[in-house]
Amino acid sequence: MNTVINLNEESNNDNKKFCNFKGFLKEKKPKKIEFIIAIIANIIFLYIVNNLMAWNISFIADSLIDILWILNISIIANIMANIIYLIYYSEWLRAVSQIILNILGFWVAYSLYVVFPFNFSNILYDYSVVFALIVAMIALVIASVVEVARLVLKFVLKVEK
């Protein structure tokens, strides 16, 4: 059964009341330069993360090594996703990859929260970072739910813009 829900002006009023997703499903057209900038930024971030221990930064604890692997996986996944977008971009691919990247991002935030590889001299900094990590985890869960909903509406239920 291939049912397409049409949300154009010609749609009947009942359909509009039931499924008013025009703004929710609308996506801006990405530019290739955005992917290139993201690749460069992630390569720089990868270099920084992997050299923090060598730089002997006072507030970075040795326990960073315990979570370095998930940081690297997440950053490399972001680089790979943007390289793929440069070669081939489609909305369904972006939606699926964004869900995967959100899950990795949550895993990174959770790992940072659990291991907490920071030694701040002020307890207020500790609590601020813990609060920021909790907010990030909540935001990533919400973003993932939104991406799944958009993916289902757009490509499974075939709701049109």
How much is the pLDDT for 29?
83
Asked if residues 108 and 70 have their Cβ atoms less than 8 Å apart, the reply is yes
**What residue segments make up the domains of the chain, in order of their start?**
31-156
How much is the pLDDT for 159?
80
What pLDDT digit, counting tens, does each position of 83-110 carry? 999 999 999 999 999 999 999 999 999 9
What pLDDT digit, counting tens, does each position of 11-40 carry? 445 455 445 666 666 778 889 999 999 999
How much is the pLDDT for 88?
95
How much is the pLDDT for 9?
47
**Rounded CA separation 48/91 (Å):** 31
How much is the pLDDT for 22?
62
Per the listing, tokens 């970072």 go with: 129
The b/e string for 53-92 (b: 16+ C-beta within 10 A; e otherwise) is eeeeeeeebeebeebbebbeebbebbbebbeebeeeeeee
